[in-house]
Structure 1
Amino acid sequence: MSWTFIEECFVSHDITDLLVDGEEEIAAYKTIRDQATFTNKRLIIRDAQGITGKK
């Protein structure tokens, strides 16, 4: 699987709710429809429409 990062963007509010104690956002990048957020502990991929591509 591969992603093409289009541009840097703001971290989505639903991602900040997932962060654990001591975890900080480093950068977030927009793909075609999803968002990849890098933290100091992990990479979080936000899938906007699910695996089927349906809303």
Structure 2
Amino acid sequence: MIPFKTDPIQFRQRQLFPTYIFDLLPKDHPCFVFDDIFQMLDTSSVEEQYSP
């Protein structure tokens, strides 16, 4: 049988993903353009409808 992870360091990892995934991307990655656009959107009316 082949073990899932052979390296004990990988086996004992505490995080599956980094805390902030965008830290792994280059600063000129296209996703940051979308992030800027989404930050400018006014979503307050939608949030009011779905907030308790």
TM-score class, shorter: under 0.3
Greater Rg over alpha carbons, structure: 2
TM, length-normalised to structure 2: 0.18
Q: Relative to total residues, which structure has the larger helix share, 1 or 2? A: 2
TM, length-normalised to structure 1: 0.18
Which gives a bigger RCO, structure 1 or 2 (Cα 8 Å, sep 6+)? 1
